């Protein structure tokens, strides 16, 4: 009986640690499409990149888990763009690297966000 429990425990541990889901683009960024930063818009590019931030930084979650920082709407995003906190957090050069406890966004996503900011941060 003791041996059976050990085997079951090992199988559970292997199955939990063996489950790793990630996109091919994140696993092999050099093999995927090159970064396109020719037409970066808020609605088409920036909001899609920031979608992954909505778990903590949405209208409903920002006060409880997002330190009061909301990234759901253009005006909210502009608050952290204007004060420089968006790129500092995303580049991991601020006191609050984001995503919290995770790695940086893809280089292409960071470049697209920077291009949008450099182009005037338009609500387009």
pLDDT digits (tens, 9 = 90+) for 32-42: 567 888 899 99
- pLDDT at residue 56 tops 80: yes
Number of H helices, E strands in the chain: 8, 0
Sign of CA dihedral 42, 48, 52, 55: positive
- Residue 106, class by beta-carbon neighbours within 10 Å (0-12 exposed, 13-18 middle, 19+ buried)? middle
> Would you call 21 helix, strand, or coil by DSSP?
coil
More confident position, 22 or 49 = 49
Angstrom distance (rounded) from CA 73 to CA 119: 19
> Which residue in 53, 89, 90, 92 sits closest to 73, CA to CA?
53
More confident position, 46 or 17 = 46
What integer pLDDT is reported at residue 26 of this predicted model?
62
Please count the residues of the chain.
124
What integer pLDDT is reported at residue 46 of this predicted model?
95
The per-residue pLDDT of the chain, averaged, comes to: 83
pLDDT tens-digit map of 80-116: 899 888 999 999 998 888 988 888 899 999 999 999 9
What integer pLDDT is reported at residue 29 of this predicted model?
58
- Residue 104, class by beta-carbon neighbours within 10 Å (0-12 exposed, 13-18 middle, 19+ buried)? middle
Angstrom distance (rounded) from CA 77 to CA 86: 8
Angle at 79 between CA 81 and CA 104, to 5 degrees: 45
- Position of tokens 């253009």? 74
- What is the percentage of the chain residues whose pLDDT exceeds 70? 81
More confident position, 8 or 42 = 42
Domain borders along the chain are 37-124
């Amino acid at each position: 009986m003791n041996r059976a429990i050990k085997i079951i425990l090992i199988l559970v541990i292997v199955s939990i640690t063996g489950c790793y889901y990630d996109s091919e683009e994140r696993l092999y960024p050099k093999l995927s499409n090159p970064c396109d930063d020719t037409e970066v818009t808020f609605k088409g590019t920036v909001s899609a990149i920031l979608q992954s931030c909505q778990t903590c930084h949405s209208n409903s979650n920002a006060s409880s888990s997002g330190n009061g920082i909301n990234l759901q709407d253009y005006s909210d995003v502009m608050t952290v763009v204007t004060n420089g906190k968006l790129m500092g957090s995303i580049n991991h050069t601020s006191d609050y690297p984001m995503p919290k406890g995770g790695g940086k966004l893809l280089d292409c996503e960071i470049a697209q966000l920077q291009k949008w900011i450099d182009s005037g941060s338009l609500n387009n």
